[in-house]
Amino acid sequence: MKIVVLDGYTLNPGDLSWEGLSALGDLTVYDRTPYDQVVKRLEGADIALTNKTIIDRAVLEQSPNLKFISVLATGYDIVDVKAARERGIPVSNVPTYGTLSVAQMVFAHLLNLTQHVAEHAQGVAQGRWLASPDWCYWDYPLIELAGLTMGIIGFGRIGRTTAKIAKAFEMRVIAYDAYIRDSGDPDIEMVNLDRIFRESDVISLHCPLTPETYNLVNAERLRMMKPTAFLINTSRGAVVNNADLADALNRGLIAGAGLDVLEVEPPAADNPLLTAKNCYITPHISWATRSARARLMQATVENVAAFIAGKPQNVVN
């Protein structure tokens, strides 16, 4: 089996090993692959692995040997799964590797918004505390999480883990999911979207990008939120209308946002969120702890091995 990894660098910048995959076939790993080189690099390949490199209908039509695609992520919108199905090519993903790391990032952003630890530490390093007339100082309101309401949109694995952590902070949790009616927890009420936006002090997004969730957070819904509320997005950038969120932040309609994803990644220089008030953006790294990437690597090896054994797993098409 000829196995080609189109964009392996983000999964393994050098701190993991490709040995598990190389034991399964003739392995070639590219750090990155521009779209115009995808077909050439997949020439003769039986198995393609991709993280964010697009494999669309045109690529599939020019890759007659391709038998299996394994996505190095949970989201698989970069593969034309319908076209793959038409050609009898199963597409697998890795659904669970990043749950703990993504939920952790939710609270990294939330605690940044409520405590501003880095900015206060930077002030101390710049001599602010040395010059303070008082024994302490703070530049931002300091907000306790206990008693606040967290609204979770998307109550799958990551949403549930986020809820568990929120409860440990003694937050009230409400949730919305288009497919789930019972949270399974007597302390967590499943509610409609309007209640999420109106009642929450913090909204955390954990839904996939679908036609139904595209720009789910828009000007109309942002106007429903409390002016003291925060929005956290670690799901997909296009779930949020970036221009509408920037406008809401700049007008003080909501208090702040912590984002690990944007509509276009890397962002264009004119993305209004880059300069919006009280908006903190990380470069899509919630999935990227070494522990999570190691789980992703192992699960990918298992996906490829299962396909070779004739029992493909985690198939999304």
Residue 313 lies in a domain: no
**Using an 8 Å Cβ cutoff, are 167 and 160 in contact?**
no
pLDDT above 90 (res 77): no
pLDDT of 108 > 90? The answer is yes
CA–CA separation, 164 and 290 (whole Å): 23
The per-residue DSSP string of 179-206 comes to T-S--S-TTEEE--HHHHHHH-SEEEE-
Q: Quick check: 46 pLDDT over 90?
A: yes
**Gap between the Cα atoms of 302 and 307, Å rounded:** 9
Decide if 154 contacts 174 (C-beta within 8 A).
no
* Residue 182, token pair as written in the block: 């019972």
pLDDT, tens only, 154-212: 999 999 999 999 999 999 999 999 999 999 999 999 999 999 999 999 999 999 888 99
Q: Is residue 88 domain-shared with residue 106, that is, in the same domain?
A: no
Cα distances (Å, whole numbers) of residue 83 to 4, 61, 63, 68: 20, 9, 12, 13
Is there a single domain that holds both residue 117 and residue 190? yes
Domain annotation covers residue 317: no
Q: Are 254 and 248 in contact (CB under 8 A)?
A: yes
Asked if the model's pLDDT at residue 37 lies above 90, the reply is yes
If one compares 208 and 147, the residue with the highest pLDDT of the two is 147
131-144: average pLDDT: 96
Residues 67, 46 contacting (CB under 8 angstroms) = yes
Question: Is residue 143 included in any domain, yes or no?
Answer: yes
User: What's the pLDDT score for residue 237?
Assistant: 95
Match 């003739």 to its residue by tokens.
26
Does residue 91 fall inside a structural domain? yes
Q: Are residues 132 and 209 in the same domain?
A: yes
Cβ atoms < 10 Å from Cβ of 161: 18
> What is the mean pLDDT of the segment spanning 130-140?
96
Give every strand in the sheet of 149-153, ordered side by side: 188-190, 172-176, 149-153, 202-205, 230-233, 256-259, 279-281
Across the range 109-124, mean pLDDT stands at: 97
Residues 176 and 189 in one domain: yes
Check whether residue 18 and residue 149 sit in a common domain.
Answer: no
Q: Are 177 and 159 in contact (CB under 8 A)?
A: yes
DSSP class of 171? -
- What percent of the chain stands above pLDDT 90? 97
State which H helix or E strand residue 104 sits in. Answer: helix 99-115
Which residue of the set 109, 236, 293, 295 is catalytic?
A: 236
Pairing mode, strands 47-50 and 256-259: unpaired
Q: What is the Cα Rg of the chain in Å?
A: 22
Task: Say yes or no: 164 and 66 in one domain.
Answer: no
Residue 182 belongs to domain with CATH number: 3.40.50.720
Mean pLDDT, the chain, rounded, equals: 97
pLDDT digits (tens, 9 = 90+) for 48-63: 999 999 999 999 999 9
In the prediction, which pLDDT does 53 show?
97
Same domain, 26 and 106: no
The one catalytic residue in 85, 157, 284, 302 is 284
Given a cut of 90, whether residue 310 has pLDDT beyond it is: yes
- CA 244, 248, 251, 253 dihedral sign is positive
Q: What average pLDDT does range 27-33 have in this prediction? A: 98
Phi and psi at residue 302, to the nearest 5°: -65, -40
Q: Is 284 a catalytic residue?
A: yes
Number of Cα atoms under 13 Å in the Cβ half of residue 139: 13
199 among known catalytic residues = no
pLDDT digits (tens, 9 = 90+) for 229-286: 999 999 999 999 999 999 999 999 999 999 999 999 999 999 999 999 999 999 999 9
What pLDDT is attached to residue 75? 85
Please write the tens of the pLDDT for every residue from 214-245: 999 999 999 999 999 999 999 999 999 999 99
Residues 274 and 135 in one domain: yes
Please tell me whether the peptide bond between 266 and the residue prior to it is cis, using omega within 30 degrees of 0. Answer: yes
Query: Looking at the domain assignment, is residue 314 inside a domain?
Result: no
In a shared domain, residues 71 and 131: no
Percent of residues, the chain, with pLDDT higher than 70: 100
Q: Which of 19, 189, 220, 265 is catalytic?
A: 265
Q: Calculate mean pLDDT across residues 138-144.
A: 96
Catalytic, 61? Answer: no
